[in-house]
Chains A and B, each alone.
Chain A
Amino acid sequence: MKRLVSDAFFDSAEKNPLKTAIICDGASISYGELAKTVCRYSNFLLENGVEYGDHIGIPMTSSIPCIALFLAACEIGAGLVPINPSMPAAAAAKVFDSGDVKHLIANKAFLRRAGDGLCSEGSHFCLDGDHPGAISFSESEKCSEKRPVCEAVTGDETLLLIMTSGSTGDPKPIDISQNCKHIRAKVFTELYLLTEDDVILAATPMYHTLALRLVLLALRIGAVSVVLPRFTPALWMECVNKNKVTFTIAVSSQLAQISERLNEGADISCIRCVVSSSAWLEPAVKERLIEKMNCEFHEIYGTSEISSPTDIDFRMSAEKKRSVGKCVPGARIRIRREDGTQAQPYEVGEITADTVQKFKGYYKRPDLTKAAYDGEWFRTGDLGYVDEDGYLYFSGRIKEIIVTGGINVYPQDIETMLLELPNVRECAAFALTDDSLGEIVALAASPADGMELSEREIAVACARNLADYQQPRKIFIVDEIPKNAMGKISRVQLGEIFREQIS
């Protein structure tokens, strides 16, 4: 039995049971109470049909019960497939199907809206009260507060499946084990010199790996985890001030918004170290933040598959402000030419990485996993170069994803849905740059022969069938979607063409 993540948490709980473990949305829980909750949840799931190796779909909110559930999954060797709670039922069904999800744990609001027809083979659980056909989590109160013995757990089984999409729109679930989560947390605890005295803020949605990473960074070393469920710059600053936050990793679009409010919001001088992630931060924004926040300021580069192989501390490397950093311990970077050979310093090529933080593979897709590697090197699909000192610079993307507000949007997910409309002949989703969100989703569509197509129809179909972050901000109805010389739609070129049209 090897449960490195939950063992570390239970060690923290044993050492300091009265200490606050999590503060979230006006509520808080001590290490001792959280440990009891995790045990009750683990036993409750085992008593209600969840077995070792089962996958559980969970519209994951930033809440104490969801964090306890994550630790319970570590305890019993179950896998979680987190989704955005606002995801429409059909999209959730597709995700759960590709992740072999058997059970569903959700709030009443989700069960009411989308629960019917999902995970009909396994159990439905309701986290916040009663719902017809679902087992209420309030019944876990009666369960044992002892850690369950689960001999089968090795830590190498699936703990999280994070959904992405392949080039054809097929789901491409990123498979992350407990051991992998443990290694990632260990690397960053050492890198940022985190201790039990830190107060660590997670202010991104819990269904992404970043927030869970931040919670775990705190709980495995006995620090305080502060969770902010809903982000606005003012709420973030208030939360930092009120809880005396010392460390956080934020997505760059959040930091861009915060940088505009630094003179008017609450005092945040308690922060010792801030890390920017998920997308490149504009140098001007970076300068402003470094100057005003007066604390350690880092930026990391990475992908969900390999976490973050590079980090830069701008106070130590002031002259490298356009860089996304040097390799963290256990990681190596190699810039790959198209022919597979290694590029020279300053020569742009594909960023590839070999790191101890890497994922298990794409779930049940060994073909896609194999294609993602060049030998031991994971191909990120990003373009970049290194300088003579080994600092990495990001210069663009080969893969056609849209990163809006730090969240990856896969154009194929939007296009596949819209192509089901009878009056859409072809369509393409692409990125347009945006000062506040980094990029926004734009969409070009052409009507089927002899049929009408309006922007409104597209907007309504998207609003009904896609999650909030996938909504196109700009819609262009065109006779023909521009193609490249090969007759292929290039989403990168579309961004350039339509940007000119707007300006």
Chain B
Amino acid sequence: MSRVKDYIIDYIQREYDLPKDIDTDSFNYMENGYIDSMGLIQFVVLLEDEFSITFDDEELSLPEFKTIGGLEKIITEKMEAGQ
């Protein structure tokens, strides 16, 4: 697993383990309550800090942002773009 994905999964599992039988990439961590609207701000700031990137509002509202695989892709692309 990539460092980005490891970080995301570790963070999401701070309180509760992810279900065993899921497709991690398509797992929607918001709809499943692993991160709620109150926790999202902290998650976003820590991701930005950890990977030296900045998300804009449009990215935050993308459906892909809420899945583990989608978020990993968004972050990886931003890192590759040198942002």
Which B residues are closer than 8 A to A by beta carbons? 10, 13-17, 19, 30-34, 36-39, 41-42, 45-46, 49
Contacts and interface: CB of A to CB of B under 8 A. Distances in A.
Nearest to A437: B38
A309 to B, nearest CB: 28
Nearest to B47: A463
Contact of A109 (B13, B32, B38): B13
B42 A471 contact: yes
Nearest to B34: A230
A229 B16 contact: yes
Contacts of A437: 37-38
Interface string A144-187: 00000000000000000000000000000000000000000000
Given A230-B32, A234-B31, A436 B42 contact: no
Given A85-B15, A230-B16, A459 B38 contact: no
Given A235-B32, A459-B45, A464-B46, A436 B16 contact: no
Contacts of A232: 30-33, 36
For the complex of A and B, list the 7 residue pairs with the smallest distance between their C-beta atoms, beginning with the closest: A230-B33, A468-B39, A463-B45, A85-B15, A463-B42, A459-B45, A471-B41
Between A231, A459, A469, the greatest number of chain B beta carbons within 10 A of the residue's beta carbon is seen for: A459
B16 A473 contact: no
Contacts of B36: 230-232, 468
B70 to A, nearest CB: 18
A61 B15 CA distance: 7
B31 A471 contact: no
Given A404-B38, A471-B41, 7 more contacts: A86-B15, A86-B39, A437-B38, A459-B41, A460-B46, A460-B49, A468-B38
Give the interface SS of chain B, mostly helix, strand, loop or mixed.
loop
Nearest to A407: B38
Contact of A113 (B14, B30, B37): B14
Nearest to A253: B38
Given A460-B49, A463-B46, A468-B39, A235 B14 contact: no
B40 to A, nearest CB: 9
Interface in A393-442: 404-405, 436-437
B16 A471 contact: no
A66 to B, nearest CB: 11
A469 B38 contact: yes
Nearest to A60: B15
B16 A25 contact: yes
Given A463-B46, A464-B46, A471 B38 contact: yes
B61 to A, nearest CB: 16
A462 B41 CA distance: 10
A204 to B, nearest CB: 12
Interface string A247-284: 00000000000000000000000000000000000000
A45 to B, nearest CB: 23
A231 B15 contact: no
Given A463-B46, A463-B49, A473 B15 contact: no
25 contacts: A25-B16, A61-B15, A86-B14, A86-B15, A86-B39, A109-B10, A110-B14, A113-B14, A229-B33, A230-B16, A232-B31, A232-B32, A235-B33, A405-B38, A437-B37, A437-B38, A462-B42, A462-B45, A463-B46, A464-B46, A466-B42, A468-B36, A468-B42, A469-B38, A471-B45
Contacts of A466: 42
A85 to B, nearest CB: 5
A260 to B, nearest CB: 13
Contacts of A234: 31
Contacts of B30: 232
B29 to A, nearest CB: 10
B78 to A, nearest CB: 16
B17 to A, nearest CB: 8
A22 to B, nearest CB: 16
Contacts of A462: 42, 45
A460 B45 contact: yes
Nearest to A205: B15
A232 B36 CA distance: 8
A231 B33 contact: yes
Contacts of B31: 232, 234
B6 to A, nearest CB: 13
Interface string A212-242: 0000000000000000011110110000000
Contacts of B16: 25, 61, 229-230
Nearest to B45: A463
A399 to B, nearest CB: 21
Contacts of B14: 85-86, 109-110, 113
B13 to A, nearest CB: 6
A56 to B, nearest CB: 18
A61 B33 CA distance: 14
Contacts of A86: 14-15, 39
Contacts of A25: 16
A231 to B, nearest CB: 6
Contacts of B49: 460, 463-464
Contacts of B34: 230
Nearest to A26: B19
Between A128, A229, A404, the greatest number of chain B beta carbons within 10 A of the residue's beta carbon is seen for: A229
B15 to A, nearest CB: 5
A471 B46 CA distance: 12
